[in-house]
Amino acid sequence: MLEIAIGIILGCCALGAGAAMIAGIGPGIGEGNAVAKACEAIGRQPESKGDVTTTMLMGCAIAETTGLYALVIAILLIFVAPGRFVNILMNTIGK
């Protein structure tokens, strides 16, 4: 019975890590749209290239943090959480 509980813990941690990495899709799409719009703006008004580029890079850096947070959560769910949850299970059942 204990092996089944540990298997469920490991499986749920793996599923959670996979679900967290879905958040990596958002920054990619958002940054792609930002770069496309910046290229359009520079094409229409080339003299504003410096301002548009600076603002676009700042926005892309902020958008990328979402993907990095998702990566950190996924790594924690793969490497840290299973051991913690198994320890909690062992302490609960008294082994």
As a whole-number percent, the residues of the chain with pLDDT over 70 amount to 99
Query: Looking at residue 2, what is its pLDDT?
Result: 86
Instruction: Give the orientation angle of helix 2-21 with respect to helix 81-93, to 10 degrees.
Output: 150
Q: Is the pLDDT of residue 76 over 90?
A: yes
Which positions ≥6 away from 89 have C-beta within 8 Å? 2, 5, 6, 9
pLDDT in tens, 12-46: 999 999 999 888 888 889 889 999 999 999 999 99
Q: Provide the whole-model pTM.
A: 0.74
As a whole-number percent, the residues of the chain with pLDDT over 90 amount to 59
